[in-house]
Amino acid sequence: MSKSLEKEKKMSQVTDIGSTHEFDLDNRDPTLKNEHVRVWFEDSFAEPDGTHSIDGVWTCSYKTFECSKKCCYIVLSILCGGPCALLWGLMFAMQSCYHIWCIGPYMKSFFIDLGCCAAYWKALVQCYCDPLYESVGKIFGNIRFNHRYEVV
C-alpha cells in the first residue's frame, strides 16, 4: 500500500493540468494490467524438430510478422488514442459523480432499513425453525459406535 501511496503523491504533481511533465514513457504498464496481451513471434509460431521449412522462408515470415504488427498498431493508436481518452475521461467523471452523490447516501439509508428487517427476520426464524431443526438433530443424538480393533 505504501508503494501505491508514494505513487499517488508523485502523480498528484502531475495532475496539475497546465504544467508540462515527463511521465514514464518506457514502462507503460506499471501494474502489469495488460501483460496477457503481449505477443512475440515465438509465442505464435514454432516448428518442432524434423519439420523445418527453408531458412529463408522462416526469416522472411519473422520479419513480415513483426513489421506488420508494429506498423498496424501505430496507425490505429494515432487514430483512436485521443478520442478514446476523451470519452473515457467524461465517462469516469460521470460515474464518480453518480456514485458519490447518489449511490453513497442511498446505500446508507438502505442499510438502516435492512438492519431493522434483519432483527425482525432473525427473531422469526429463531422462533419457528430452531425447534424444528433441533428436533431433527435428535437423529444424531444417541450414536452408539462399537469399535473392535485388531492389529495384524
Restricted to residues 29-88, the positions that interact with a second copy (CB under 8 A) are 29-31, 33-40, 42-55, 57-74, 76-78, 80-82, 84-86, 88
User: 21 and 14 in contact (C-beta within 8 Å)?
Assistant: yes
CA distance 91 to 84: 10
Q: Per CB under 8 A, does 17 bind a second copy?
A: yes
CB of 52 to a second copy, least distance (A): 6
| 104 grid coordinates | 453513497
Binding mask 87-116 for a second copy (x = CB under 8 A): -xxxxxxxxxx-xxxxxxx-xxxxxxxxxx
CB of 150 to a second copy, least distance (A): 4
**For a second copy, the closer CB: 6 or 60:** 60
The answer to whether the Cα torsion of 42, 46, 48, 51 is positive or negative is negative
CA distance 113 to 117: 6
Q: Per CB under 8 A, does 3 bind a second copy?
A: no
Indicate the DSSP class of residue 103: I
Number of residues engaging a second copy in binding (CB under 8 A): 124
Binding mask 129-148 for a second copy (x = CB under 8 A): xxxxxxxxxxxxxxxxxxxx
CA distance 103 to 24: 35
Q: Per CB under 8 A, does 1 bind a second copy?
A: no
CB of 59 to a second copy, least distance (A): 7
Indicate the DSSP class of residue 37: G
Hey, is 132 helix, strand or coil? helix
